Amino acid sequence: MFVCPRCNDVLARQKSAIGHYWSCKACNGRHASLATVRKISGLGTRKDLWEQVRNAPANDKLNCPTCPRSMKEVTLAMDGGDLVLDICPSCQFVWFDPGEFEELPQARKEEPPPAESAETIQPVAREVIAAAELQMSLNQVRKNVDRTFRPHEHQLPLGKSLLAFIVPVEGHNPLYSVPVLTWLLSALVAVFGIWMNWGGGLLEMPYTERVIGVSADYGLVPAEAGRYGGLTFLTCFFVHFGWAHLVGNLCFLWMFGDNVEDFLGRRRFLLLLLLATVAGGLAHISMDSSSQVPAVGASGGISGILAFYALRFPRVRLHFRFLALGYARMWFPIWGIFPVWIGYQIFLAKQQAAGLSSVSAAAHLGGVAVGVIFFILWRNRE
């Protein structure tokens, strides 16, 4: 399933006499392979076309519908003026905005050379020609398979491969800026979590008393939501109970936060995180406003980031490794995992409302709501 990079609608596959292409019913954009385009246009006569693609600047605002990589803006000099095409150097597909396809130069019709009769070609020569044509066909098949499979996108570095035993690991999704806020927030959460859980001499009290005390001081207590002027809506983001809680949230913040910050920019990213954290706290309070049990963890804010990421980068793959299956590695596109995760959170929220769950799924759903709103507002940010 391909998605329109302009309006995020699903592209419809069309069949024509020269091959398949994909079109968007909403914006009338078209998506076709470079080989298909060459059949009907004069681009095939331009020997320097691919050199222009290699040297063209990347358009980080337009991702290829076929793969998650950025396309390149290639400017072609035409008789009626310059024509700018968006071409993916990885999968060799072209995206046409409305009107661009019609501006392509028409292919010149050349008269075919007179065919030689079978009698004039010696049997040995015919065998040589057939063998050469077969070899050319095999070479083209190999090139197409290599380009389509792109094995480097399915392989993980050693660190990510080991991490995939614990949490899902993000596949190929390149960055175009340094995610300073994501790194800074991850460092602050890690430092506070280590101090809280393993501080030892920093707090002279037993581990259990120390963790419970810090959670009560900085966590969000529904019955006392106005403490410290409401600051516990934010301080609870840094409080984590145990290493699994801390490491899990850090992994997801690091994994999804960098691309969301890269796309939205630092200010909007910080606003998304703040509002998702507050919305998650309000959703948690709505379940039981008289509760004295503090809510802790960054998962409300991270859920907002996850929702935006899943909607903006639906084709990115998440990788898993399973010991029970002989170290097998499996991957799934995030558009297939995210709805399942949402359904699970709704189930947990019902359990939470009945007092049967200690996980605040309501906080997760509150954060998701903010992430969806941000996606609606800024999905096509220029």
Q: What is the pLDDT of residues 33-73, one digit of tens each?
A: 777 766 656 555 455 666 777 777 877 778 888 776 788 88
DSSP per-residue string spanning 327-372: SEEEEEEHHHHHHHHHHHHHHHHHHHHTT--SS-HHHHHHHHHHHH
Structural domains of the chain sorted by starting position, each given as residue range(s) with its CATH number in brackets? 12-103 (no CATH), 155-378 (1.20.1540.10)
What element of type H or E holds 4? none
Q: How far apart are CA 367 and CA 64, in angstroms?
A: 29
pLDDT for the residue 150: 41
Do residues 47 and 27 touch, judged by C-beta distance below 8 A?
Answer: no
Q: Indicate the pairing of strand 81-87 with strand 317-322.
A: unpaired
Q: What is the structure's pLDDT at 224?
A: 92
Long-range CB contact pairs, 194-200, < 8 A, 24+: 194/246, 196/239, 196/240, 197/240, 197/241, 197/242, 197/243, 197/246
pLDDT for res 177: 86
Q: Is it the case that residue 236 has pLDDT exceeding 90?
A: yes
Of the chain, the percentage scoring pLDDT greater than 90 comes to 31
Q: Calculate the alpha carbon distances from 274 to 268, 303, 352 in Å.
A: 10, 12, 24
Supply φ then ψ for residue 140, to 5 degrees. Answer: -65, -40
Q: How high is the pLDDT of residue 142?
A: 52
Q: Which residue has better confidence, 297 or 17?
A: 297
pLDDT at 206: 67
The chain-wide mean pLDDT, for the chain, equals: 78
The tokens 């998702």 sit on which residue? Answer: 276
Torsion of CA 349, 350, 355, 361, to 10 degrees: -10
pLDDT tens by residue, 157-196: 445 544 544 556 666 677 788 999 999 999 999 999 888 8
Confidence tier at 145 by pLDDT (50, 70, 90): very low
pLDDT for residue 201 is more than 80: no
How much is the pTM? 0.58
Six-digit token string for 154: 């399915």
Task: Give the per-residue pLDDT at 318.
Answer: 80
Q: Is 167 exposed, middle or buried (0-12, 13-18, 19+ CB in 10 A)?
A: middle
- Is the predicted pLDDT of residue 82 greater than 80, yes or no? no
Look at residue 245 and give its three-state secondary structure. Answer: helix
Minimal CA–CA distance to 284: which of 242, 223, 235, 372?
223
Q: 60: which residues sit within 8 A by CB, 6+ positions away?
A: 70, 176
Read off the pLDDT band of 153 (50, 70, 90). very low
User: Lowest-confidence range among 125-129, 200-204, 229-233, 355-359?
Assistant: 200-204
The residue among 147, 146, 216, 173 whose CA lies nearest residue 70 is: 173
- Find where tokens 């409401």 sit: 230
Tens digits of per-residue pLDDT, 313-367?
998 888 766 554 455 566 778 888 899 999 999 999 999 988 888 889 999 999 9
C-beta of residue 332 within 8 angstroms of C-beta of residue 172: no
Sheet with 328-333, side-by-side order of all strands: 169-170, 317-322, 328-333
Q: 371 Cβ partners below 8 Å, 6+ apart?
A: 272, 276, 303, 304, 305, 306, 307, 308, 309, 311
Q: Are 305 and 272 contacting, i.e. CB atoms less than 8 angstroms apart?
A: yes
DSSP 115-169: PPPGGGS-HHHHHHHHHHHHHHHHHHHHHHHHHHH-GGGT---HHHHHHTTTS-E
Cα separation, 217 vs 194, in Å, equals 17
Radius of gyration of the chain (CA): 27
